Structure 1
Amino acid sequence: MSVQKIGIDAGGSLIKIAYEQSGSFHYRKYPIADLDSALGWLKMLAPDAAVALTGGKSALLKEQYFQRGFIFPEFDAACTGAVYFLKDEQINLDEKFIIVNIGTGTSWFVVEGSNYSRILGSGIGGGTLMGLGALLTGETDYSRLIKLAETGEKGNVDMLVKDIYFPQEPPIDGNLTASNFAKGSINPDSSSEDRIASVINMIGETVILLSMQAAVANQATKIVYIGSTLAGNEPLKQCLASYKKMVGLEHIFLDHGEYCGAIGALMSL
């Protein structure tokens, strides 16, 4: 069966591809280092397909591989894709809501009806996870870092509220972080698992803090999380979800949220 349309989200770390075949959407992703093999496969699969590109490296891909390709703005692609997946998963959001795209860095968007705008950005994201993960554990594989974090204990690296108040009872949840990595000097024997768990905790807490501020400023009560850093990353999802009751916001994680940019680009064709 021939492929007629392809959407490619070329980011700083990954190439995400969405293509339509026989009336269904299919998804693939590759590390940016595997760019040549990924696009070689794609050009064999669909040499005559219409291609829409988005992401930071879209201009490079257009110049080197898809001269007839169409570049769709990155922020438009992410929001268009997120709205599509919400409808596909039958999640009805009639009111204003916030999209949080956790990629190499993190971007926040406010969505109301068919209108959306980027309101905030942070350098904390997947690039932080990979960079600090490599520095603190020596591991450079994403899946391996997540696996390490699943058995790590952030409290061996982070100073928690209960550490400060001990032996008294703290006035707030004692498991909240008082200071990220503050035990680094007093517990130098922390494990790689502990250190990467602390990194993910820092990312999650930073994201939820900024998400809460974005929601309050825009009078929204629902947060939709998307982006490649959430793919297979249960520790980060659990960190974000743990604040649901505390901050009074509904958290929504999309099944194919890492492909919002790619599917949004495809839908522009």
Structure 2
Amino acid sequence: MNNRIGVDAGGSLIKIVYEENGRMHFRKQPNSELDDALQWLKITAPNKPIYLTGGKAGTIQANYFPEAKGVDEFSAVCEGSQYLKMREAMTAGEPYILVNIGTGTSWFTMKGEQYERVLGSGIGGGTFMGLGKILSEVDSFSELVSLAAKGDKGNVDLLVKDIYYPENPPIHGDLTASNFAKIQEFPSSSSADKMASLNNMIAETITLLTVQVASIHNIHQAVFIGSTLAGNNPLRESLNTYCKMSGIDPVFLKNGEFSGAIGAMLK
């Protein structure tokens, strides 16, 4: 593996992994900087074999690295996550649901060396960025995350406690009864409140689908990876809370957004 480079070119980001002196290095850039990233790679590692995965792998191979090898995206993500899970000294043989939150979201069942993609959704990082820009007129991922961390979803979402007031609700009052449902308050709510609501809606949707997959396949652990989680503590915290409330053990892999690139390199 020492001499290889893995590249995962997805819908929003290009992720590069390489090993040097026994240490793994990571690099990622938005697709708008694709040419810069690949020119850097040509200069940095002109003689190393390159393994490509992701939706834009074919384009990169045709235009930049004709000698590169293509790797199936789903197998790369699954094998990369297995590698990271073992690296973090977790039990590799325990079945788990792999949840890859990229531009959209994919679910895989992971049972030993066997893996299968069982579900996909258009809800993911692309939703966060696209609706985030509409709601806040901000197009920077880090700024949108910062807004979400400062906001109060209760100023936008109709909560369970709102419906039952002044009575005590039969379930946790801060759970969402309906996303973005406080129509009268919406015009006066802040961009931060709207982003908190959006982040929460994404977390709730992903958790509900994860719980359904886990129930069908009788698996109790979910491993979350993907670029949408990188630096997005509000989303991570919400997923952690909702999964535990639902009886799912959530795991967040360090450098999980590079699973695809690592898996390509391992191939």
Q: Please confirm whether the aligned pair reaches a TM-score higher than 0.5, indicating the same fold.
A: yes
Question: Which residue is 1:118 aligned to?
Answer: 117
State whether residues 99 and 107 of structure 2, in contact with CA within 8 Å, keep that contact through their aligned partners in structure 1: yes
Post-superposition offset of 1:247: 0.8
Question: Which residue is 2:64 aligned to?
Answer: 65
Alpha-carbon distance in 2 for matches of 1:128, 1:185: 24
Alpha-carbon distance in 2 for matches of 1:144, 1:42: 28
Question: Which residue is 1:166 aligned to?
Answer: 165
How big is the alpha-carbon RMSD for the aligned residues of Structure 1 and Structure 2? 0.9
In the alignment of these two chains, the number of paired residues is 266
Q: Which amino acid aligns with 1:215?
A: A
- 2:93 aligned with 1:105: no
SS at match of 1:95: coil
Alpha-carbon distance in 2 for matches of 1:244, 1:182: 24
Alpha-carbon distance in 2 for matches of 1:19, 1:114: 24
Post-superposition offset of 1:245: 3.1
Alignment gaps of 5+ in structure 2: none
Q: Give TM-score, length-normalised by structure 2.
A: 0.98
SS at match of 2:100: strand
SS at match of 1:184: coil
Question: Which residue is 1:32 aligned to?
Answer: 31
Question: Which residue is 1:176 aligned to?
Answer: 175
Q: Which amino acid aligns with 1:59?
A: G
Alpha-carbon distance in 1 for matches of 2:127, 2:234: 15
- 2:242 aligned with 1:243: yes
Moved over 4 A (4+): none
Alpha-carbon distance in 1 for matches of 2:171, 2:64: 55
Post-superposition offset of 1:20: 1.3
Alpha-carbon distance in 2 for matches of 1:44, 1:93: 37
Post-superposition offset of 1:195: 0.5
Alpha-carbon distance in 1 for matches of 2:144, 2:265: 31
Question: Which residue is 1:192 aligned to?
Answer: 191
Post-superposition offset of 1:23: 1.8
SS at match of 1:108: strand
- From the superposition, tell whether residues 71 and 185 of structure 1 become closer, same or farther in structure 2 (CA, over 3 Å): farther
Alignment gaps of 5+ in structure 1: none
Q: What is the identity percentage for the equivalent residue pairs of Structure 1 and Structure 2?
A: 53
SS at match of 2:188: coil
Q: Which amino acid aligns with 1:123?
A: G
Post-superposition offset of 1:22: 1.4
Post-superposition offset of 1:24: 1.6
State whether residues 9 and 17 of structure 1, in contact with CA within 8 Å, keep that contact through their aligned partners in structure 2: yes
Q: Give TM-score, length-normalised by structure 1.
A: 0.97
Q: Which amino acid aligns with 2:163?
A: I
